[in-house]
Amino acid sequence: MDEIPGGNDALRLSARRREDRELIAELPAIEKAGVVIIDDFHRLDESVRAGIADHLKFLADEEDEATKIVVVGINRAGESLISFARDLSGRLDVIRFEANPVERLTQLVREGSEILNVRLPESEIARSAFGSFHLTQVLCHTACLSAAVTRAQNTTQVISTPAPVLIEKVMDDLSMTFMESAIKFAMGPRLNREGRAPYLHILKWLSTTQDWTLNLDREVAKHPELRSSVTQVVEVGHLADFLLKNADLSDLLHFDPRSHILAVEDPKFFFFIKHLTWAKFSELVGYLHTGFTSRYDFALSFSGTERFLAKKLFDILSDREFSVFYDQNEQARLMAADIEQYLAPIYQSEATYVICLLSEDYPQRVWTKFESRQFRSRFGVESVIPVWVDDSPTVFDQAGNVGGYFVKTEKPVEPQLEYLAELLQKKIAEYRVLPAIAAGEFYCRQCRLVHPVAVLAEGRVGLCVDCAEKWKVL
């Protein structure tokens, strides 16, 4: 700022302050505004950010020297700005503040140690601070207190507390500040213990990043088993609304609905989630299970005449954070794909349960015939749940021996589907709460025994080889 004419007299505005937000919105109409700094740009409403982007383009085109705007934001804020006006690229300077290298952090520890006349595990502390000067200071402070060093020493004192011990001590302190917020975010708007825990997984993915920002579109592509549940909370707007309604969380995390980028605003919170023990944390939050081997909890099979029922059931189950295959929700992925090859594995093995809405039209339709051929053999292994719509005929011989559900369309269907969802939630809760399973093991849903993964039947959900062979013969 010293190098900019008038930089020392710059007007500093923050998107965190309501009165400043009003002035920022008016900036495009102010001539000769001088040097203006807009801090926390990423927190402005989308319309205001778009207005500032247009104004920057105008200033660049006019080569206006009477007004200079400096935008400050968290990582990816520059990308967010350019997304509003693509032709801004090349017309403005982007100055990136990268994570500090380990060498700089080591230098910080060394110089502080010299002043205190102590020797600290420099490299260990520097590597544990994730590029943050502040976290380096926190770790050094903790190390000094652990050795009762509160002032400069007369003789050199060696502080050899290992970094893992320091991290544990810092985590104890940070837990008092951040644990409640982390649990609140991981639960989402309401805790569904049997669901796929999309908010918890988003937080866990964020903890694995290097630059404190998470591109959810790219991350979801790496986790097909969680794609449906996470995509639902992101694209429908639940995540953005959740942060907007919880100021304590929005002080820690920022989500950009345009780019689907989630970022941490507080380095200490990033340090905290980075060192969480996620298995224990998920139990603390209240989830029954967070490791999933199937892509979907439920796959819906229905004829076109029952689409209104299927859509309502999909919405209800998705709202409960289950992963549900519903064809219209996958239209983009089905385009240009071999539909039979795409659908077959979903009904054969990739959904824990198949819900078939059996109606009068069901046996007549081409696609329901195809789908039913894929899951017909799963009737005997508690994987298919028939839902009879009105007085529909029995389509499958096996269905008569399988417990299902009846929907009467002459009555209000939403309460009936809500109750069905309750039953399905309890059903999958039983599946989630299985015997304790170690890594490399799985639970066979037919013989109800725990087996090594080596005997998991290929292409079958939760069946050992022996059970799969028996059902193949039957």
Is the confidence at residue 217, as pLDDT, over 60?
A: yes
> Is pTM beyond 0.75 here?
no
Which pLDDT score is estimated for 137?
94
Give CA angle at 423 (418, 427), nearest 5°. Answer: 140
Position 473 scores a pLDDT of 42
pLDDT digits (tens, 9 = 90+) for 220-275: 999 888 888 899 899 889 999 999 899 899 889 989 888 888 989 888 999 999 99
Per the CB < 8 A criterion, the answer to whether 108 and 135 are in contact is no
DSSP codes of every residue in 313-343 = HHHHHHHTT--EE-GGGGHHHHTTS-HHHHH
Q: Please, are residues 420 and 387 in contact by the beta-carbon 8 Å criterion?
A: yes
**Residue 54, H or E segment:** helix 46-62
Q: Are 144 and 150 in contact (CB under 8 A)?
A: yes
Q: What is the pLDDT of residue 111?
A: 95
For residue 179, give the 3-state DSSP assignment.
helix
Contact 205, 213 (CB under 8 A): no
pLDDT in tens, 366-409: 888 899 888 887 876 778 899 999 877 666 655 556 778 899 99
Most trustworthy range by pLDDT among 68-77, 257-266, 289-298, 328-337? 257-266
Residue 378, Cβ density class (10 Å: 0-12 exposed, 13-18 middle, ≥19 buried): buried
How close are the terminal C-alpha atoms of the chain, in Å?
A: 79
Residue 157 has pLDDT above 90, yes or no: yes
pLDDT, one tens digit per residue, over 107-132 is: 999 999 999 999 999 999 998 888 88
Distance CA 147, CA 131 (A): 25
Q: Which ranges of 209-306 would DSSP assign to H, the alpha helix?
A: 216-222, 227-235, 238-245, 247-250, 267-274, 278-285
Other beta carbons within 10 angstroms of residue 377's beta carbon come to 17
Angle at 29 between CA 24 and CA 31, to 5 degrees: 105
The residue among 82 and 95 whose pLDDT is bigger is 95
Instruction: Using the predicted structure, report yes or no on whether residue 474 has a pLDDT greater than 70.
Output: no
Largest CA distance in the chain: 91
Name the percent of the chain in helix, strand, coil, to the closest 5. Answer: 55, 15, 35
